[in-house]
Each structure stands twice: as C-alpha cells, then as structure tokens.
Structure 1
Amino acid sequence: MNFTPSSHLIKNSRVSLPLIMLIILIISAGYVYQHITDKNIRSEKYDDLKIITQFKVNQIVEWNAERYSEAQFFSTDPTLIRYTYDLLKGKDVLRTKSSLQKSLSLIKENHGYENIFIMSANRKLLFSLDPQYQVVEPSIYNFIDSIIISNSIFLTDFYYCQEERTIHLDLIAPIFDHSKKIIATLVFRIDPYKYLYPLIKPWPVPSRTSETLLIRKEGDSVLFLNELRHKKNTAFRLRIPLTNKVVPAVQAVLGYTGIFEGYDYRGVEVLSYTTNIPGSNWFMVAKVDKSELLSELGFRTTIVTILMIVLILLSVAGFAWFYYSRQKNIFRELFLKEKELREAQEEFKTTLYSIGDGVITTDKNGIVKQMNPLAEKLTGWSEADAKGKSLENVLNIINEQTRQGVVNPVKRVLVEGVVVGLANHTLLISKEGKEIPIADSGAPIKNEKDEITGVVLVFSDQTRQRAAQKKLEESKEKYKNLFQSIRDAIILADTDRNIISCNPAFTEIFGYSFDEIKGKKTITIYENEQQFVELGETIKAHNGTPFNYTVNYKRRDGTVFPGETAVFYLKDSNGNTEGFIGLIRDVSERIKAETALKESERFLSEAQSIAHLGSYVWDISTGFWKSSKILDEIFGIDENYIRSFEGWADLIHPDWRIVMTDYVKNVVVGEHKKFEKEYKIIRQVDGRERWVYGLGDVELDKNNQPLKLIGTIIDITDRKMVEEELRKLKDELEIKVVEKTKELNERVAELERFHDATVDRELRMKELRDEIDRLKNKKS
C-alpha cells in the first residue's frame, strides 16, 4: 500500500472534517464578500454622485450669492452714483468716464467680469468699459424694464447673443437717487465659458466617463446649457424632448431628485444623480457610464476568486503540515517551557536591576539576598557587601519628626503576611550618614504552597516629592491669604446654593458673621426671590463658563446695594461640578457715577437743543462727516443726504463756496489751524439763505497728520439781521447828524453876524454917550 500525506490526511476524519468545513467557509465568505463589494461599490458611486452634485450646486449657489452681493455693493457706492448723475446731466463727461474706467476696470479684473456698462432708465447706454461695445442687445431693454418694475437686482438666464455669436449671462443692478428712484442700471456681463462652466466641468476623482450637465426646461424639451464631454459645440444647441423619460436630464426637469439609472444623450446606459439648483430655473445632472462601474466589479470578482483558490490550497497545505508536525511540536513545547522558565528568571533579575526604585530582597529571616543599583546608591552599601547581612544593618530608617528608629517593615511582613508601607516623614540614613526622605513598602515572597520564603522591599527617594509638597502647601497658604485679604466679597456654595464658606470682605460688606451665614441658602443675601431665580437661570445657561452679572443684594440690616457678580464652577478631578464660587463687588459708587454721567450728557444734549447748537465730526481721511440732529435742522438735510466734503460745499452759498473750501483745505487741514468762520449757506430742504458760525479743532494722529475735525455750528442769521438793521440805523443817523451839523453851522454863522452887528451898535452907542457926556461937560 502506497502512503501519501494527502491520502492519510483524508482518512483521518478528525482532520479532514474541519478542513472540509473550512473550505466551505472560505467559499461562503468569498460569495458574501463579493455580494457586499458589489453593493458597496454601487453605494459608493451613488454617494460620490450625490456629493459631487451637491458640491457643484453649492458652488453655483455661492457664486450667484457672491455676484448679487457685489452688485448690491457697487451699485450703492456714493461715488458711482455721483458719476452716474454727472453722465445723466452731461457734466464733465470725459473726466467722469475716465474716472469710471479706472474704478470699474479694477472691479472687472478682480471679479472676473467680461464687461461692465451703465444704462440710463430710458435705455440709453451711458458708459461701457469695453469701448467696442456700443450697440445694446434688444433683450437688455426687457431686462431693464423688469428691474424698474421690481426695484431689485436681476440675474438673467443664459441667452445667445446674435450680435456677438456667443452665450451671455448678465447681472443687472438698479442705481437709485436720494429719493430711492431708479436713475440708471449697472450691468455686469459674465462670460460663462470662463467663470461658470469651469465650476461645472472638473470631476474630483479619476474617471473615464464621468460628466456634469447644466440644463433647463425650454418648451417641451430639455436644453443643455454647458459644453458636453462626449459631444462638442452642443451648448445651447442640443435639445432632448420631454417624452424621452429614460434620459436623466428629462427626469431632472420633470422634478425628480436623486439616483436614476437610464440612458444619456448618446444612448449609453449611465448611473446618474439629478437635482435642481436653488434660486434659479437650472437643473444639474452628474453621471457616469455603467460600463465603467461594471469593469471595476469584474476586476474585483477575479481578484476574489483567485484569493479563494489560494486560501483553499493554503488551508489544505496547512492542515497537512499541522497533522505531521504535531508530535514534533510536543517535544519542542517541552523544550520551550524550560527555556521560558530560564528567561523568566533572567527577566526577573533584569527587572530587579533596572527598576526605577530601590529594591532589596531578603530571606524569611530578614537576611539580604539581592540589591539593585538604586538601592546601593540610596543606602550607600554595595550588593556584595550587603549580602548575608541583616536588613536592619543595611536599611537604617528613622522618623523625621521624632528622630526615633522605625520598626523594620520586613518584620511586619513576616509576621502579618501582607503588604505593608512606611509611615509618612520617614528618613533613610545612608552608610555615609546622608539623610534621604523615602517612601517604602514591603511584600511577602511566597512559593507554590503559599508559604513565605522571603520579603521584597521597594523604596524610593522622596526628595523631589517632599519639595513639591512643600510648594503645594505654600501655594495653598498663599491662596488662603489672598482669599482672606481680597476686598471683594467671595462666597463658596454647593450645587444646592447653600453657603459653605466666605471671606472676611463678605462679612464686612453684608454684615453677617461667618457662623450666621454658613449653611444658609444664597437667597438670604438677595434683594428678592426674583433676583435669586434670575441668577440661577443665568448660571445654568452659561454651563460653567465664567460670566459677570449685576444683581441687587441685601445686607443684614436690610439695606440694598448693586453688586457686580462673577460666578465660576467648582469641579473635582473628574470634571464633576461640586459647587460655585461667587465674587461680589459693591458697585454703588460706580453706578452713581454712571448715572451722573448720563444725566450730564442729557443736560448737554438739552443745552445744545435749547441753544440750537449743532455738532459734527469730519473724518478727513475718508472725506465723510457725521452730524447731530440740530445740525441737520440748520442745514435742512435728512439722513439720506450724502455727508461728504462735496456735500458740505454744495450747502455753501455760491458767493462763499470757493472762499470756504480753500480755507478748509489750505488753512484748517493744511496748516492744522482752528476752524473759526462766519459764512452763508443755502438750506437744502427749502433753499433759504442763512448765516452760520462754525468752530472746530483738528485732531492729529501720531505722525502729526490731520485725522478728524470736530466742532460746532450755530445759526446766526437773526444776529446778522440785527447787525444789518443797526448798520442801516447808523447810516441814517450819520446822515441826520450831518444835516443837523450843517443847520447848526448856519445858525452859528447867523449868530456870529448878529453878534458882530450888536457889538458895532454897542460901540457906536458908547461913542454917542461919550460925545453926549463931552458936550454936557463943555456946556457946563
């Protein structure tokens, strides 16, 4: 009879039966694995298609949102609105277009637009970045009419431009004047071939047949909007009727969302995912040829089959090898057991000599048998010198506080037969007399009969630990002193809000002694229950996060004060909440100061209102200014008025405009001088002429450059009118004074003539009297 390993193996039922079961298990596992693999690949492809589609849809939605945001931002820019006004009025057209060319060119380059142009509300092309673009497509007019009706930004759909023979996508934003009336539209033209189709085309994983389609419903057909992978020049040309429902694109526009197996525009069987794009009438289809999926499945099936055959052959060979080597292994195991025992003994010795603590082993009489190097270092004894000596001679230990000898732990282990440890504050006196704080434990060594054959003593140098413990105690003392000395009230409460402890500042502020307040609910120190409940809810809402909260507290004598409160959680080493720490600061004085400040601000506001004094802040770097309500009333402007330097200049009377703008630019800003001028304005609301008096100080930055102009303006028209009346009265008075002076001069001259005549008469009368007297004397 011929003997072969395989025939003998088959005859041995104890080996052949498990082998047959293993082969059946391998075949079953291969089948199940193949089935699961098939299912997983399909599921993976489904998930890939869904994720890719949703990712691209999100990209398009975000792209649309970004374009809308840009249109909203640029169409409401005050500078653009002012340029549009100038174009509509035909004011300085060349300069305006040049300025628009510079600013809009940056927008075009940075945001990827094909062209940007401005259309008036009556469909006139006011400006175009592209100088070649002069003829506006008729479809633009319809879009502008829609915007004027809706008063909102409008994104057109894809449309084919007959003039330029290409596909356009336009974003049109209205430009409003100060009264919210549309004066023009800002058109951002987008080339989808450069800025939208590239979002759709890429596929994130390697694939021979994958493709993303952008489509929309047009009439009774599906219109393909982007260029296709397998057909060229199909954008806006390829249509598929809605009756062809085996095509995923048709299913998409009919409202189906999800995985769909059908035939694409080539008639090839595909696996696809269809969905709509929010905020548009577009749909998206992501697809891959089914043949690509099946090729991967076929490859994996081949690999699994080969692996099954290899595993079966290896199993047969393994069982044969196992059967014929079992006897040989029995002898080998005996040899290995003996070797393992020797290695264990060697490992014990290696462990003993390399362990990080000092280790000494003794026999049952306490005689030293072995010492590791660290034990030699700590005791000062070498292993050779210590062997055979009593442990008490080698390990000399005393109590650190009493300086008395400590009972040798080996004796306790031998007597009690359990693991024992040294008390705290134990010192080891080395052979050289050096004192070392140690931690010590001893354990019995037992044989198979549970008899004690010796003791192992493990001890370690505690110098660093003692130093760390000392630092910890010092730290505790420091924080205890801080707790006692801090001027804010501190309380510790458990999770039920019962007061556990408090600092001296708490008893001083609240008037309670520690014994009076300990164990009481924290509601005791609140003004009322509502305050207590509100703070409790706030603590829960913050979930352990530190926070500040101001609440009214009540002292022992019943007086109430506001307290700014910070609350922290107390947690154990496992992170469980044990209670709360509350820091309370009496903020009565601060609140009084804040109230006084608010009252002062109110008085200032009322004073400005009574004095009709307006105030302003002009940001010199931006050119824009802010004004108070009183100043708006003086200027006759509302909140929509553009508060720029030009806006201020427009309010100045034409006779004063150049003088005032030069004064501000050259004197105030240029020389950093104080603004102080009387000038004439024209109110914007009613066109009335008024006189104002302005004061302002220039605020400089750290480089001594003008930063802001802050000041006040008051209406002095009434004063000017009084001054004018006084001037007129003065002129009239001067005229009357001149006339009266002339009249008085004439009367003086007349009086002088009368005086002269009177003097002459008196002289003649005197001469006559003298003559009479002479004649009388002569007669007598």
Structure 2
Amino acid sequence: MGEKIRILLIEDNPGDVRLIKEILSPAKGGFEITAAEKLGDGLKLLSEKSFDLLLLDLGLPDSQGLETLDKARAHAPEIPIVVFTGLADEAVGFNAIHRGAQDYLFKRLIDSSLLVRSLRYAIERKDIERRIIESEERYRNIIETAMEGVLLINAEAVIIFANNRIAEMFGYTVDELLGKRLSEFMADKTGTEADLFLERRSKGIKKQHDIRFRRKDGADLWAIASTSALFDKKGQYVGILGMITDITARRQAEESLRESENKLSAITRTAADAIILIDDEGKVCFWNLAAERILGYSAEEVIEKNITLIIPDRYREAHTIAFSRFAKTGEGPLIGKTYEVFALKKGGAEIPVELSISGIQIKGRWHSVGIIRDVTERKRAASYPGIAQQNT
C-alpha cells in the first residue's frame, strides 16, 4: 500500500470537518487529515509541516471570499488547492480556478466519490503544472544562456521574442527589439533582402545563409541565420524561429586574408624575379609570371609537376638527397643562402641563374620558396667587358 495523502483541511464548521474526515477515512483511500479552524492557524501548519493538498473553505472567521485563496496561494504556491465552499455559485468556482485553485466543490453537493476524485485529480493537475513550469524554465534557461541569438518572428515579420544573446549582438535591449520589424535591423534598409528572406521562409524553405545586420551603433553585424517556418494546426504560416550566430569576426578575418592575398598576388605578379613554391613532395604549387617569362613554362604546364623539370641532370642526385632532408626537417645546405647555378628552360636550354631558397611550413608540412633571377646578361657582360662599357 502506498503512502497516505496528507491533506490540510481549513474549515471552521465542526460538522463539515467530521463529514470530510468520515469520507476520507484511511479505510476509503489512504488519506491523512489535519484540520484548522482559521486561515492563520492553517498557514502556520503549512509552514511547519508538509502536506500534499489543501482543502480550503472560503468563509473563515479571519478571512472571507476569494481573498482567502489568494492568501493561501501566496503563502504556499507549490501546494494544490481545492476550494470548499457553501456558496452554490458557479462564478465563485470559476474565479477560484482562474486565481490558481485546482478545483472547487460545493458543500451541499458533495459525496464520497466526487470528493475523492476531485482531490486526486487536483494533486495530479498540480504535478503536471509543476512539470510544465519546470520544463518551460529549463528550455528558457537553455535559450537565454545559448551562445546563439534566438528570434521568434510572427507572420507580419514583427519580432515577438528575442533572447538576451541576440539583443547583445544587435546592441539593443530585448524590449527595444520586441514589436519591431526584422527589416529595421538589416543593413539593407530598403527591406528588399528582408522581404525575400521572409518570403522564402514562409514557403517552408529551410536554408542556412549569411545575413548582414546593422547594429545600434551603426556597425555591420554578419551572421549565419538558421531558420524554420512555423505553421498552425491548419497549415497556415504563423512565423519564423531563427537561430542567429555572429560571424562578424570571421568575415573580418576573411576580408583581411583576402586583402593580404591580393597584395601578395600583386607583388608576385609584378616581380621581375621568378617566384616558385614547391611542397614536401617536390611538386610545384605556385609559379608566377616572371617564372613563365624566364623559364618558358606556363603555370598550367608546371603546377603539380616535380621541380626536377627545371633542374639539369648533373644537379638532380644532390637535389634528391638534400630535398629529402628538407621535407622532414626544414633544413638543408641551400636554405637561407644564395647560389649561382644553372636552370633548364622549356626546350632544354640551360641558363645561368641566381637562386635563393627559404623554407616555410604550411599546414604542418614543409614547403620551399625559390626566387630565381636570370643572370644571363650579367654573365655576358662579365665575359665581354667592352659590351658592359658600351652599356654604361
């Protein structure tokens, strides 16, 4: 047999108290009754002991009407309450339910079956209510502590819910966001982008994409928006639930990287010397315009090809040994130095070049950067001083 249901009965009529105790005697359902004649005495008992339910008369010596219920709920909001009244007035009962009671009973209409069922249902309903509140609080805590911003937008594109994170991202308070149209916070002030976005969502199209918002301070806020359309039971579109992730820092980093790449591209494109990048397998990864001009191969012809393509046969054995060491350690006899050697042009002709080599790591792998300067004219001038004098 389970534990007894502990009931506090606040009732000033001794006859009604006897009736309730008789109906709820342990032999008829496992109830344990504690009675108090006044509201003050009952509230004191609620503070001192634990009860499963409060059966409350609205007409007491120290409290009358629905104010009695209000006082009891304020004192013990967690306990289920069944109002027990001699007033056969449905309006009183409905008002009691509206103000937090789980049920109401009229003394003149009460019987054993009705009372037992009402008390048990009241306890169950209060437990369900408690679990719903706990669930709502749990999900609200998740939403409020989420790293993502959360927006709920109705069918008219008006914001009806915003969590603290989205308010922080936009630079507004939550109250400043509520009741505003989404387009008011987008960088495209014409509303075209917002209208297109909302139209697609209203058709049930789910998509994650980048959106540029405008913060309160005027700065751009780049975000990834993951959205889902909401529909009622009739299939009518009622709004959008959106999860917003701030990617402003990432976009700024991408822009900085793009600028750096553009600058590097401009430097390598206009450089007079050949600039060549090879990976740890000896394959060409980068080949600038000067390399095309000096060595005769286009970038398309050499990318992914081995660098031995431009190395004369007499150097290849030494290159293989040195490069094997470099690929593992980033070290080698030519690293950080400048040498005069010969390189093979397309077609097989050799030209004298000045070669400077350095090593860099890319994604944990050693790569070699070679800068090649064609010194053919300098060598010719050195061999024929008269030519050099004519050119000065």
Change (3 A) 1:656 1:587: closer
Higher relative contact order (CA 8 A, sep 6+): 2
Deviation (angstroms), 1:680: 1.6
Alignment correspondent of 1:401: 74
Preserved CA contact (<8 Å) 2:102 2:126: no
Matched, 1:534 2:188: no
Structure 1 pair 593/397, CA: closer, same or farther in 2 (3 Å)?
same
Cα distance in structure 2, aligned partners of 1:554 and 1:466: 40
The TM-score with structure 2 as length reference comes to 0.57
Give distance in 2, aligned partners of 1:657 and 1:396: 96
Question: What secondary structure is seen at the aligned counterpart in 2 of 1:401?
Answer: helix
The structural deviation recorded for 1:625 is 3.9
Q: Does 2:261 align with 1:601?
A: yes
| Matched residue, 1:722 | 378
Q: How far did 1:672 drift?
A: 4.3
Between the aligned partners of 2:168 and 2:327, the Cα distance in structure 1 is: 60
1:696 maps to which residue? 358
Q: What corresponds to 2:368 in structure 1?
A: 711
Change beyond 3 A, Cα 1:576–1:476: farther
Q: Which amino acid aligns with 1:710?
A: H
Compute the displacement of 1:580 (Å): 2.6
- 1:527 touches 1:560 (CA, 8 Å); kept in 2? no
Q: Cα distance, 1:605 vs. partner? A: 1.1
Pair 1:617-2:271 in alignment: no
Q: CA deviation at 1:614?
A: 1.8
- Whether the aligned pair in 2 keeps the contact of 1:615 and 1:713 (CA below 8 Å) is yes
Distance 2:197 2:205 in 1: 13
Q: Deviations over 1:9-29 (max 9, x none)?
A: xxxxxxxxxxxxxxxxxxxxx
Give unmatched runs, 5+ long, in structure 1. 1-352, 382-394, 427-437, 702-706, 731-780
Partner of 1:182: none
Map of 1:204-603 to 2, 5 A cutoff? 368-369=22-23, 375-376=29-30, 379=33, 397-398=55-56, 399-401=72-74, 455-457=114-116, 458-459=119-120, 460=123, 468=131, 471-472=134-135, 475=138, 478=141, 492-500=152-160, 506=167, 509=170, 514=175, 519-525=179-185, 526-540=188-202, 543-544=205-206, 547-551=208-212, 553=214, 561=220, 563-564=222-223, 566-569=225-228, 571=230, 578-582=238-242, 591=251, 594-603=254-263
Kindly provide the CA deviation profile for residues 609-639 of structure 1, in whole angstroms up to 9, marking residues without a partner as x.
222342323243xx64423344455443342
1:660 aligns with 2:325: no
Give the Å deviation of 1:602.
1.2
1:423–1:373 Cα change, 3 Å = farther
CA RMSD of aligned residues (A): 5.6
After superposition, give the CA deviation of every residue in 1:564-608 in whole Å (9 maximum; x if it has no partner): 252534758969864234566787776555434322221211111
Query: How many equivalent residue pairs?
Result: 325
Query: Mind listing any 5+ residue stretches in structure 2 that lack a counterpart?
Result: 8-15, 36-52, 57-71, 387-392
> Could you say which residue in structure 1 is the equivalent of 2:287?
628
Q: 1:234 matched to which residue of 2?
A: none
Q: 2: CA distance between counterparts of 1:396 and 1:568?
A: 46
Counterparts of 1:693 and 1:453 in 2: how far apart (Å)?
105
Inter-partner Cα distance in structure 2 for 1:462 and 1:725: 103
The residue type equivalent to 2:270 in the other structure is: I
Aligned partner of residue 715 in structure 1, secondary structure: strand
Equivalent residue letter for 2:369: T
Letter of the 1:722 counterpart:
R
Q: Give how far 1:528 is off.
A: 1.3
Q: TM-score, normalised by structure 1?
A: 0.33
Q: Distance in 1 between matches of 2:348 and 2:196?
A: 54
